[in-house]
Structure 1
Amino acid sequence: MNTSIGAPAEASVVAGVQFAIAAYAQALDADRTDDIAALFLPDGVAEIAGVATFEGREAIREGYAAFAPARPQLHLTANTVITSWTEDEATAVSNLAFFQRGESGWAVQLVGRYDDTLRRQDGTWRFQRRITTFLP
């Protein structure tokens, strides 16, 4: 497993990991809980630090349904670094900013980071574990 932050991951690993991360943000903002759950392995874990931990696709689907957006929202994910990888497993860290649209327009509601472990299954990268941490 390569763990050197200075060495870029293989292009196929980068593309697969970045697709999963972007697809998650798009599904979250569109309230597509089935799509969010499908981005995780069947035994995957979604942890929102200090809020909740959902284990398995059904729990993830149900858990995210409770967070249905009340108004338009946007998750921006940036500065993703793949911190270790093999052909079929990768870890990554990303920054996030969460915006909601209110009467005055779009405003940042919170910032945080994602710590991810992903595995390639049947050619598709899926989350084994995603930890969301909000920063003060």
Structure 2
Amino acid sequence: MTSDREAIGDLIADYALALDTDDIEGCVGLFTEDSEYLVFGKTLVGPERVRKMFTRAPRGMHLTGVSRVRIDGDSATATTQVLFVDAASHSMRPALYDDDLVKVDGRWRFRRRRCQFLTPDGLSDSPQDQQ
């Protein structure tokens, strides 16, 4: 039997691997119906908006690092390091994911995901702030 902590680790890994293998539907399926995704200074609400963003996003690899997970019953929070490597330019974008997670029908899902990019001035909602 998988522990909640292991299942959350799998959720975070499944997200990165789905995006990196162009499995947009698999990735969207990791979010709740009322999910929010905060990235690039925008808040995307619901699976359809998230799907559109993933479809238009540059292709690359999401290298996830350490995660700090806090579980409280059927809800949890996670903060995860990620390094995105763009497939075309090989440029790198270091970032942090801050997640609010919920267990729905026995499976962990993203309720809210915020991506903040590491820039010379600290964390930012936009990678364009990188110098």
TM-score bin (small chain): 0.7 to 0.9
Q: Give, in whole Å, the separation in 1 of the partners of 2:23 and 2:108.
A: 18
Tell me the amino acid that sits aligned with residue 44 of structure 1. Answer: S
Structure 1 residue 87: Cα displacement: 2.4
| Identity value in percent | 32
Output the CA distance in 2 between the equivalents of 1:98 and 1:135: 11
The CA RMSD over aligned residues, in Å, is: 1.7
| 2:45 aligned with 1:55 | yes
Distance 1:17 1:102, change over 3 A: same
Map of 1:95 onto structure 2:
81
Instruction: Give unpaired runs (5+ residues) of structure 2.
Output: 120-131
Q: Distance in 1 between matches of 2:37 and 2:56?
A: 14
Separation in structure 2 between the aligned mates of residue 60 and residue 54 of structure 1, nearest angstrom: 6
- Kindly tell me: are residues 45 and 15 of structure 1, through their superposed partners in 2, closer, same or farther at Cα, counting changes over 3 Å? same
C-alpha distance in 2 between matches for 1:68 and 1:99: 10
1:41 paired with 2:27, answer no
- The ranges of structure 1 where at least 4 consecutive aligned residues each deviate by more than 2 angstroms after the TM superposition are 100-103
2:69 matches 1:79: no
Once the two structures are superposed, residues 82-102 of structure 1 have per-residue CA deviations (whole angstroms, 9 ceiling, x without a partner) of 1x3222110010111111345
User: More displaced, 112-121 or 59-68?
Assistant: 59-68
Partner of residue 13 from structure 2, selected from 7, 17, 22: 22
- What letter matches 1:15 in structure 2? E
TM-score by length of 1: 0.79
Deviation for aligned residue 1:30: 1.5
Q: Which has the higher contact order (CA 8 A, sep 6+)?
A: 1
Query: Structure 1: which 5+ runs fail to align?
Result: 1-10
Query: How far apart are the structure 2 equivalents of 1:102 and 1:39?
Result: 26
